[in-house]
Amino acid sequence: MTEFDPGRTINVVGDIHVGWTVRSRLDAAAADLARTNDLAVHRVFIGDLTEFSTSDEDAAAIAWLDSTGPRDSWSIVAGNHDLDSRTLAGWEAAYGKPGIWTLDFPTFRLIGLSAPDREGIRETEPQTLAPETLTYLDRQLGETSRDCVIVTHGPLMNTVIGSYFDSTMRFFATHPDEEIRAILAAHANARAWVSGHTHSPLETTDLVKAEPVGNGHLITAINVGSVAYQGGKPTDPSEPAAQPNYSCFITVTDDAIELRVRDHLTGGWSTINGAQVTTVPFASASR
C-alpha cells in the first residue's frame, strides 16, 4: 500500500534512548526502517538518541542509525538526553552531523533545530532555542517559497496534551514559545512543527492538530511518539517490549499535511482515531 508520494514524504522517528531501550524494540524498529527506506525521501531522528550521552552509547546509537539506511538518507536533531555534560557542538562532533540544518526537496523544505545545551532556565526548560537559532529559523522560512516542515525535539506549548508527559509541561515544550510563534505567524509557508520528547501514545489527545500561531495562520503540530517506550517511563526497560513501536510518515501535498503511522512491530500501518491517514489542510489568512 503506497498511495502517497514518497518524494514528498519524510519519516520522523522519535526518542530512541540507546543505552536504556530493550534490544527487541531497537531491533524491530531498525529492521522495519531499513525495509521502508523507499517510502520517504528522507528520515529524521528527532532527539534523545541516547540515554546518558556516553561515548559507548554514542557508538551504539551510530551503529543503530547506520543499520536503518545509508548515512545521507537520514538527519538528526539533539534532545535533552543527548546533551548530558556536553554542548550541541560536542554532540555534533560525536555524530559527524549538524544539529541545526536545512534540506531542500523539490516541493518542500525541511528545517532541523536543536537547543544549544540542556541548561535552559537552569534545566527546567531544556528545549530552549538560542536567539541565533530563532534568527536562523526566520531566515530559512523567509528565503524560500517552498512549504516548510520544522523538526525539533520539543513540541510547541499546549499542542499535544493528555499523555504522561505533554506539551503543557514547561520541561517538555520548546521555548521561547511567544517568539517562536511570532516567527511562524510571519511566514505563511511554515506548514508543520514536528516533535518527539513526550513519548505520547497514539491515543493521546492532539497528537496531530492544526495549531493557531497568530496572524490567522495555522501550523500542523505533530508528535511522533517514541521507539523507547510510550507514556510514563517504566522502571523496568523490558516492560515496554510489547508496547506499540511506531514512527510517522509525513507527506507535504500541494494543500495539506498528511500523516501516516508505521507500526514497526507488524510492518503495517496504524490508525489515529480510526483513520489510517490524518489530513490537515493548510490554513493561512495571508494566502
Chain positions contacting Fe ion, by CB under 5 A? 15, 48
Q: How far is the CB of 8 from Fe ion (least distance, A)?
A: 28
Grid coordinates representing 242 are: 510489547
Q: How far is the CB of 276 from Fe ion (least distance, A)?
A: 26
CA distance 151 to 140: 13
Q: How far is the CB of 17 from Fe ion (least distance, A)?
A: 6
Q: Look-up: residue for cell 526566520?
A: 138
Q: Give 224 or 261: the residue with its C-beta nearer to Fe ion.
A: 224
Q: What is the DSSP string of 216-259?
A: TEEEEEEE---SS-SSSPPSSTTGGGGS--EEEEEEE-SSEEEE
Q: Look-up: residue for cell 496572524?
A: 215
Q: Look-up: residue for cell 493557531?
A: 212
Q: Give 15 or 32: the residue with its C-beta nearer to Fe ion.
A: 15
Q: Give 118 or 191: the residue with its C-beta nearer to Fe ion.
A: 118
Q: How far is the CB of 233 from Fe ion (least distance, A)?
A: 8
Q: Look-up: residue for cell 490524518?
A: 278
Q: Give 69 or 154: the residue with its C-beta nearer to Fe ion.
A: 154
**DSSP state, 40?**
-
